Each structure stands twice: as C-alpha cells, then as structure tokens.
Amino acid sequence: MTGELPPLPFALPDVGEEEIAAVAETIRSGWVTTGPKAREFEERFAASLGEGIEAVAVNSATAGLHLALEAIGIGPGDEVLVPTWTFTATAEVVRYLGAEPILVDVCADTLNIDFAAAAEKVTERTRAIMPVHIAGYPIDAKALAAFADRHFLKVVEDAAHAYPCADGDQRVGAGTSEATVFSFYATKTMTTGEGGMLVTRDPEIAQRARVMRLHGISRDAFDRYRSTASPWRYEVVAPGYKYNLPDPAAAMGLVQLSRAEEMRGKRQAIAERYLTAFADLDVELPPVVESGVHAWHLFIIRLADEAARDAFVAYLSSLKIGTSVHFIPLHFQPVWRDRAGHVASDFPVASREFDRVVSLPIFSSMNEAQVERVIAATREALA
C-alpha cells in the first residue's frame, strides 16, 4: 500500500454514458418537471415487482415514507414502531404528522427490528410499524405480516437499502404491507441522484400519494399540461406537499432500473470476495441470506469494541480508504434521546453493536484493484 494511491471513497454512484444521454435527451424534450418519463418509470418499476403493484415516484424516500404514513391515516396521538437502528428520516416523518415514533431494539445478527422487543412497545395508541431492511438484508416477510396481524397494525416498509431484494421468493415491495418505500439517493443500489418510489397494492393509498405529492392537486402536471380542454383548470382537494420526481431524474432511473440486476450482481460478487478474504480474521462478518436475495447496499463488519473500530477507521483513512458507520442509533441522537429520555440500556443490542460496526466500501462500479486494495488494507489492520 502506498500513499501515492488516489482516494478510494466509501461509495460512488454507478452512472455511465447511457444515463447521461437519457438525461440530456429528456432535457431537450422540454419535460424538465414531472411528465412522461416519470410515468414510464413508475410503470416499469411496478412491473419489476410483479402484478398488482402501483408505484408513485417521489423526490426522496423520506417523502415517500411521509406520504405513505399520511395515506394510511397516521396523525396526532398515534404511535408508530420504528427501529432505533436506522437513519433519522424513518422517525422524523412520523413527527411530521404529529404522531410519535416509538423506538425499538434490533436483532443482534441482522440489525433488523426485533419483533419480540417491538411487542413490548405496543400500546392502545400504536397504529403502525415501520421496519427497515438494514444493508439490504430482507426482513422475514411472514414474521412481519404475522406481527402486524396479531397487533392490528398497518405496515410501511422502509426499503431504502433494499432494491432488488427478496425474502425467499417474495420480492421486497411485493408483499402484503400497506406500502413499501425505496430510495434512489446517490449512494443507493440504483440512483436518480435524489429520488424514491412508493409502492403499494392498495389503489386508494396510491391515489392519495399521487395527490399529496403535488400540493393536493387533483390532476398531476403531466395530465394538466397535455390536456387540450381547459388545461389551466384544477382543484386543490387537500393541503399537500411538493414531492414530485422530475423527468430528467426519472430518465436516469429508467436506465438504472434496466441495470439493477447487473449492478446487484456486482455488489454480490464484491461481498463474496470480502466474505472469503476475511473469513480467517478475528472479525464478525455480515450474515448472508440463506433463502432470498441480499441487495448488499452495505457491507458491515463488527470489531471487538469501540477502540478497535475507531483505530481501524483511522488506519484505513491513513491509506485514503473511506469507511462509514451505519448507523448511530436514534436513541443516541439528541432529538430522539431527549424527547423520550432514552438511555443506552433501553436498547442493549443496538447500544452494544454500535460500538463495533464499520461499513467497508461496496459499490457496483468498484474495479478489481479497488476491491483488492480494501482487502489488503483490512487484512493489514486486523490480521
């Protein structure tokens, strides 16, 4: 390893000439807001999950989660179960609606929400559960559905890490949950720069999300601007938001969608290289999916303790290799900690595992030399 090597970032979007050409063509068409490309993106994304799915394109997964909760009727006084191991967006959208996010501990192996811990948090005010497929490891779909049925809860899945992903034969987004929301942020498994997609089997949820994503207007921009009869006339039926995805982003998304399986395969190959290369080291490796599909959005390893983790991060940084930590649990964040008076012992698994985790670079445009560089540096640090 030499100091002459260029920086190797933790993540990079896998965007090529085809995406650039698609965006340029769309801009030249004149559709720079939500239009035909966004509609085509929705249709193709829904089709990728199977029959009976409706998709609503939005400008972020945060927007999609907000719309989904609003569409299922979450409001003031309600409680929504949220894993503490997630990004703050999962909890903050609950507060947008005046409801309360109730933080739940996670499973030690997958870092996904622990249903046993969740059961202890259910009250008469609990209306929904919002699990997260951490790193692209799919939540047990049957267990999730059974938990929701047992406690009479609605389900919104935070699938920001999870496209394409499946539990057994069931793709994430194709199940019985009220809604599932995917992210197309720059670091995700496919990207539109910023953006997301809400999917559902419920036409009423889809229609409500379509209306609310654009100021509560009863007709979207595409329908109004292509109309020959009174294109200026519309009705505002609810106080909505500004969450629509513009066509240039959707054009990029269409190309990325066509490459999604290929890009996931590259991530899988990198993950397999890491799993083999680090098998003899004193480090806990991420679990593999025995039946289904892992999206491998993240490759999270666990070291002995916080001191070992921080030293490891510093060493790779000295070699210009980027790493990250996913996540700082929400109960450690001042806004959520102080609101509920949380302490570390309230969430023993998440508190313990946070001290140990670090995410290694994994992105589909990584070349062989970059993968080998990460392997060599990790072995040097941990051997």
Positions in the chain short of pLDDT 70 = 1-3, 220-230
Position 273 scores a pLDDT of 98
Alpha-helical segments (H) within 121-202:
141-151
Picking from 289, 274, 293, 248, the residue whose alpha carbon sits closest to that of residue 382 is 274
On whether the CB atoms of residues 80 and 101 are closer than 8 A, the answer is yes
Q: What is the pTM of this model?
A: 0.97
| 298-316 pLDDT, tens digit each | 999 999 999 999 999 999 9
Tokens describing residue 22: 């698609």
Q: How far is CA 45 from the centre of its chain?
A: 15
Distance CA 342, CA 344 (A): 7
| 336-363 pLDDT, tens digit each | 999 999 999 999 999 999 999 999 999 9
154 is catalytic: no
Domains and CATH numbers, the chain: 17-256 (3.40.640.10), 260-382 (3.90.1150.10)
Position 224 scores a pLDDT of 57
Q: What are phi and psi of 12, to 5 degrees?
A: -140, 140
Task: Out of 142, 154, 188, 320, pick the active-site residue.
Answer: 188
Distance CA 65, CA 59 (A): 11
The three-class DSSP label of residue 83 is strand
Picking from 89, 154, 255, 222, the residue whose alpha carbon sits closest to that of residue 213 is 222
Position 31 scores a pLDDT of 94
Position 219 scores a pLDDT of 76
The three-class DSSP label of residue 363 is coil
Position 227 scores a pLDDT of 57
Position 1 scores a pLDDT of 47
